[in-house]
Amino acid sequence: MVNKGYKPDVILCTKLIKGFLNARNVAKAVRVMAILESHGEPDVFAYNALISGFCKMNQIESANKVLHRMRNRGCLPDIVTYNILIGSLCSRGKLELAREVFSQLALYDCHPTVITYTILIDAIIVQGGIDEAMKLLKQMLSEELQPDMYTYNAVVRGMCKEGMVDQAFDFIMNLAELGCEPDEISYNILLRAFLSRGRWIDGERLIEKMISRSCEPNVVTYSILISSLCHDGKMKDAIAVLKTMMAKGLTPDAYSFDPVISALCKDGRLDLAIEFLDFMISNGCSPDIVNYNTILAALCKSGQAEEALEIFEKLSQTDSPPNVSSYNTMISGLWNSGDPKRALNMVSEMVDKGIDADQITYNSLISCLCRDAMVEEATELLVDMQNNGFKPTIISYNTMLLGLCKIHNIDTAIDILAVMVENGVRPNETSYILLIEGMAYSGWRAEAMELANSLVSIGVVSKDFFKRLNRTFPMINVYKNLSNSDIEK
């Protein structure tokens, strides 16, 4: 079109830029902007679309380059441009840089809006700075900007996070003086804070206040009550609240049912938990994958892997197809039930369906292989884990150490410990205990005691472990450097 003499339309180009960025096709989005810049007149909306796309993909440097190019072409950024940048920096934990951008707004004759302040207040609270957030709120009010409930709820959330629950209650009660009425979110944040601290009387008082102010409890309110009652072991009360909720015409969601199902599974009442799944479906609430995964994990843990497999195989026919957690549960469950072949088939099925393994998948398989003395295969999997971009954790390495020590392969265990340190994973007390006990059981008692003594002296391994080791492997004249008084300690 441009080659035929048409001038590119800025609105159409902006839509194209957004579309390509949503499809993560950065090259074409950049190409559209290049055509618009060379043959048309890009406006602030077009540049904002490109900057926003780069920020969402964490390409902050590219976003800044667009910002500089925008200024150089005489297209002045607006507050939306800066809000995009500040929001992106805040969401990535770069609060200091966000503050710098905020402080420079006046230089560009750009005035912060309610959104600008709210983004910063929210980010500051995440990092535990309620005092600084309150100063920003006062500054916002002094500039005659009226905060919305999203701003105030961020403050309430911050107060509760810092344990200032009573101050949060007073703050909510006095919001009317600031021209705002608390909404369901405000009350729910505070209710969760009260109940998590066991303050049921205050929670009931809050709900009364909520209703008296014409703010009816919603599904989330009831779900908080159900979850807290289940946590306190009050199952009958939780089910009663669930029934009350439904009697009031509210439809419970999967989040409402999950604490009940989890509590029933924890108590070993699996039949009743499965009945609850059926009850959910019959009442128009589709269980989500979290509900199903809770049941699968409980069945596998109780040795009922076959029953779990029956439910698992039906998941593809529901609105909640299995995810990586579902597969992890089944792989571990089938292996533990003595069926490693089907467990490995499950891994293949997972890959075929395009579900990427996560760190838990690798750690579970490494644990299973080590338990069955298949240490070579576990070592290969550890390497594969790194090649696929997953950094082995302390759990991964300790599992390998346990497997190697069980088969008395101490040389390789020491090599694994060295690799662990080289990869920046610091061994913990468990790592050293596994190695020391492995050495002792492999016949290297003197060396094990000497290593244990050295590690106790620098505080890496506890004296209690040393005493236990000494009782398990009693030896005479092994530790020449250890005095009788040290042994008594």
DSSP 234-275: -HHHHHHHHHHHHHTT----HHHHHHHHHHHHHTT-HHHHHH
Is 331 part of any domain?
yes
Whether the predicted pLDDT of 407 surpasses 50? yes
Which pLDDT value is given to residue 485? Answer: 43
Q: Which of 301-310, 329-338, 384-393, 402-411 has the lowest mean pLDDT?
A: 384-393
Rounded mean pLDDT of the chain? 88
**Nearest to 105, CA basis, from 124, 126, 127, 120:** 120
pLDDT per position as a tens digit, 210-262:
999 889 999 999 999 999 999 998 999 999 999 999 999 898 888 899 999 99
What gap in Å lies between CA 348 and CA 340, rounded to an integer? 13
Which distant-in-sequence residues (6+ apart) come within 8 Å of 420 by Cβ? 392, 397, 427, 431
- The radius of gyration of the chain's CA atoms, rounded to the nearest angstrom, is 30
Whether the predicted pLDDT of 482 surpasses 80? no
Stretch 373-379: mean pLDDT: 87
Is 124 part of any domain?
no
What gap in Å lies between CA 61 and CA 41, rounded to an integer? 24
What gap in Å lies between CA 267 and CA 280, rounded to an integer? 20
What gap in Å lies between CA 292 and CA 274, rounded to an integer? 9
Stretch 444-465: mean pLDDT: 85
pLDDT per position as a tens digit, 142-196:
888 888 899 999 999 999 998 999 999 999 998 888 888 899 999 999 999 999 9
Report residue 487's pLDDT band, with 50, 70 and 90 as the boundaries. Answer: very low
Stretch 410-437: mean pLDDT: 90
Is 240 part of any domain?
no
Stretch 21-40: mean pLDDT: 91
The Cα-based distances of 171 to 129, 132, 156 in angstroms read 17, 16, 8
Cα 107 → chain centroid: 38
Report residue 444's pLDDT band, with 50, 70 and 90 as the boundaries. Answer: confident
The total number of structural domains in the chain stands at: 1
Q: 10 Å Cβ neighbour count for 115?
A: 17
Is 304 part of any domain?
yes
pLDDT per position as a tens digit, 298-355:
999 999 999 999 999 989 888 889 999 999 999 999 998 988 889 989 988 998 888 9
Stretch 109-138: mean pLDDT: 89
Share of the chain above pLDDT 70, in %: 97
Supply the range of the domain harboring residue 295.
288-354
Is 450 part of any domain?
no
Task: Please classify residue 412 by burial: count the beta carbons closer than 10 Å to its beta carbon, then call 0-12 exposed, 13-18 middle and 19+ buried.
Answer: middle
SS3 content of the chain, % helix, strand, coil (to 5): 70, 0, 30
Which pLDDT value is given to residue 475? Answer: 54
Which pLDDT value is given to residue 34? Answer: 93
Is 241 part of any domain?
no
Is 103 part of any domain?
no
- The secondary element (H helix, E strand) that includes residue 281 is helix 270-282
Which pLDDT value is given to residue 474? Answer: 66
What gap in Å lies between CA 207 and CA 201, rounded to an integer? 10
pLDDT per position as a tens digit, 50-95:
999 998 888 888 988 998 999 888 888 899 999 999 999 898 888 8
pLDDT per position as a tens digit, 339-352:
888 998 998 899 88
Top-confidence range, 268-282, 289-303, 365-379: 289-303
- Enter the tokens of residue 412: 């390789």
Which pLDDT value is given to residue 320? Answer: 86
Is 158 part of any domain?
no
- H, E, C per residue of 365-386: HHHHHHHCCCHHHHHHHHHHHH
Whether the predicted pLDDT of 24 surpasses 80? yes
